[in-house]
Structure formats: C-alpha cells, structure tokens
Amino acid sequence: MAKTFTIDGKVVPFEEGETIIQAARKAGVYIPHLCYHPEFKPHGSCKLCTVKVNGWQTASCTMRAGENMVVESNTDELNSERRTLTQMLFVEGNHFCPACERSGECKLQATAYDLGMMTPHFDHFFPNRAVDASHPDWMLDFNRCILCSLCVRASRDVDSKNVFALTERGIKTKLIVNSKSGKLGDTNFSVTDKAAQVCPVGVHIRKRRGFAVPIGERRYDKAPISDLSHEAAVEVK
C-alpha cells in the first residue's frame, strides 16, 4: 500500500525519496515555485515553494515526503509571504511586463497574477546591468535575472557545457557567462541547448522571433500558472 501524506487536507501518495513538491505535482496539487525544475536537483533559492510541515516552515523542493506528514500550502499566511517575495523580485530587477517579450510566458509575471499581487509595494532598484547581444541567435538581458540558476544547472548538468555561472555572494550575486570575454558569442552555446529553454523570466531571448505569438494568445494568457498542464509545455523561445 502506497505511503501518503496530506496537503491542505488532500491525501497525496508518494514514493520513497520523493520531495513534497514532486509528490504534490503528481497528485495535481500546485505549489508556487520559480527555481524548481523536475529535471534538476533542487536549488532552494526562490523560497516560493515554502510550505508548513507539521507546523514548521520548509522548502517543499528540498524536503522529502514522509508518511502521515500534515502539509499546509495554500493558506493566507503562506501566500502573503509568497506575494512579498514576488514583489521583492519585481523591484530588484527591471521587470516591466508591458514592454517585455516574455509577457504571457513569464513565470514571475504569472505567479504574481496567481498570488493576487496588485502592486510592487517596494521601491524599485532600477539596476543597470549589461545586455549581451554578442551571439548571432541569442540575447541575454541580465536586468531581468532572478538568480534561479536554472540556466546554470541546465548548461552544466544537461548540456555539459558550463556556459553560465553565478558569481559573488549575497546582494552582489549575479549571473555571468563563462568565457574569457564574458560574452555569450564567445561560447559554444546553441539555441537548442536545454539552458535556452528553462529561464522563467525574460533573460534569455531568441533573436528575430520577437512577438511571434501575439500577447493574449500566450501560455499564461490562456490559463493561470496553477494549471499544471503548463509544466509539460517546454519549447525554445
């Protein structure tokens, strides 16, 4: 007989070694997240997937499921904290949705909608980060990076190229390109790489494809991010 735990009162079966978010997704239960990806080891950086387990907060992407756990996720308290984290991500970078190519495809934007975020609340940092257009087919807008490390992990663990890395620490942490010049054009990056497909925001942009899908007809325009059918749809943008 399968082992189970409950999340918001729903009984969820799990296999030994699965994390809470893995088991929840299989059971059709959405837990907000940005840095989690089912193909990579958990990173635990965004903290949006934080849940309460038997009254204690923990990241659901790193916490292994246990029998008879009582997990809370969709509560006013946790969603308020997630909303605050999302607001912080918006103001730390330059996320101006109406002017962004990824509007309607951006997980940060879609998460904000799903959490009912109506205003950034905090003062914007307005960082001045470089835009790298050195690659013939790809552009990087570092102003939008949320430090999820998904492209870093994809390039290292799937593409075996190590094109990207996070450097420095704390508030100075930033995404860089691993080349002598620091430019993407001086790497072996390809538009077919896994690293090109996983960015949840608008850092990675394919050239000459701008607004190929009209706004209003994009993934999160049609259904909220909490509709887990989105998770299976991955394509090079």
96-232 fold: Alpha-Beta Plaits (3.30.70)
For residues 190, 149, 110 and 69, what is the CA-based torsion angle, rounded to 10 degrees?
130
- How far CA 176 is from CA of 35, 66, 67, in Å, comes to 17, 38, 41
pLDDT digits (tens, 9 = 90+) for 164-196: 999 999 889 999 999 999 999 999 999 999 999
Q: Name the nearest CA neighbour of 110 among 97, 121, 123.
A: 97
CATH 3.30.70.20 segments of the chain: 96-232
Q: How confident is the model at residue 233 (pLDDT cuts 50, 70, 90)?
A: very low
Which pLDDT tens digit goes with each residue over 221-231? 999 999 987 66
CATH hierarchy code of domain 3-74: 3.10.20.740
**pLDDT for position 2:** 80
The 10s digit of each residue's pLDDT in 106-129 is: 999 999 999 999 999 999 999 989
The values of phi and psi at residue 73, to 5°, are -135, -60
Q: For residue range 130-148, what is the model confidence (pLDDT) as tens digits?
A: 899 999 999 999 999 999 9
* Residues of each domain in the chain carrying CATH 3.10.20.740: 3-74
3 state DSSP class of 59: strand
Rounded to whole angstroms, how far apart are CA atoms 199 and 204?
A: 6
Give the distance, in angstroms, between the CA of residue 64 and the centroid of all CA atoms in the same chain: 20
Q: 128 is written with which tokens?
A: 């001045």
CB 96 within 8 A of CB 131: no
pTM: 0.93
